[in-house]
A and B are shown apart, each in its own frame.
Chain A
Amino acid sequence: GAVVSQHPSRVICKSGTSVKIECRSLDFQATTMFWYRQFPKQSLMLMATSNEGSKATYEQGVEKDKFLINHASLTLSTLTVTSAHPEDSSFYICSASPGLLETQYFGPGTRLLVL
C-alpha cells in the first residue's frame, strides 16, 4: 500500500520559536497533500490543502501566516508553525493520495508540545 512518512514524530519547543514538520509520500507522487490537526480525544480537523507548485488552500479559521505550508515537490509538503505558543500544542497529521479518486493515506503524525 501507499506509504506516507512524517518527521519529526514528536517535538518540544519553546514559546515563540518556529517548528517545521515534513510530510513525504514514499512510493507515490502526490500533487495534493492535506494537513490536519487533532486535539486529544477529538476528531481530525482539516487545516489546509497543500498543492504542489501553488499556494495552499486554508480552511476557514486557520491562520495562513501562522501555519505556513510549502509543497515544493510531488513527494514533499512542509508545515511550519511560526511563533508557536502553548495553544498550538496538538497532534498534526498529514495525508496524501496517489490520485484524485484514490484513497487518502496518512502519515504517522507529529506531536507538538510548546512550552
Chain B
Amino acid sequence: AQKITQTQPGMFVQEKEAVTLDCTYDTSDPSYGLFWYKQPSSGEMIFLIYQGSYDQQNATEGRYSLNFQKARKSANLVISASQLGDSAMYFCAMRRPGFQKLVFGTGTRLLVSP
C-alpha cells in the first residue's frame, strides 16, 4: 500500500528565509508522481509543484522547489524567501501510475513571522 508521511506538524520561519517541509513516501511501484498542495485558511487546495519518479531533475516552480531523493524516498518542499502569505497547511501527495487517485500526507502547518 502507498503511504505518505509528513513528520512535521508545524513549522515556523521568519519572513525572507527559506524553509524545508519534509515528505517521505512508501510505494512498491517503480513509477509514481509526487505533488505538493497548499491549503490556506480559506480551505482551497492550491497546486504548487509536481515531480515524476523518472524525472531527472528536481522540479522547480518560482520560489518552490522539490528536493527529490528517490533512494531515500523523500520529496521535500523547499520554499525560498518566505512571505507572510505562505502561512498555510502544506500537503504532500502521491499518485500511482495509471490511477488518478491521490494519497495525501497529514500535512504541515507553516507559520511565517514578520
Contacts and interface: CB of A to CB of B under 8 A. Distances in A.
Interface of A: 1, 32, 34, 38, 42-44, 46, 49, 91, 93, 95, 97, 100-101, 103-109, 111
A93 B43 contact: yes
Given A103-B50, A106-B37, A97 B45 contact: no
Nearest 9 CB-CB pairs, A to B? A106-B45, A109-B43, A108-B44, A43-B104, A43-B106, A44-B104, A103-B47, A43-B107, A32-B100
B100 A103 contact: no
B102 interface: yes
Contacts, number: 49
B101 interface: yes
Nearest to A93: B45
Given A106-B46, A108-B42, A109-B45, 15 more contacts: A32-B100, A38-B43, A44-B91, A49-B101, A91-B43, A95-B102, A103-B35, A103-B47, A104-B35, A104-B100, A105-B47, A106-B45, A108-B43, A108-B44, A109-B43
B32 to A, nearest CB: 12
A39 B112 CA distance: 24
A1 B46 CA distance: 11
A42 B98 CA distance: 27
A27 B44 CA distance: 18
A92 B47 CA distance: 17
Contacts of B46: 106
A35 B43 CA distance: 14
A43 B102 contact: no
Nearest to B4: A43
Contact of B106 (A42, A91, A106): A42
Contacts of A95: 45, 102
A27 B108 CA distance: 31
Interface string B40-83: 00111111001000000000000000000000000000000000
24 contacts: A1-B47, A32-B100, A34-B102, A38-B43, A43-B91, A43-B104, A46-B101, A46-B102, A49-B100, A49-B101, A91-B43, A93-B45, A95-B45, A100-B100, A101-B33, A103-B35, A103-B50, A104-B100, A104-B102, A106-B37, A106-B46, A107-B44, A108-B42, A108-B44
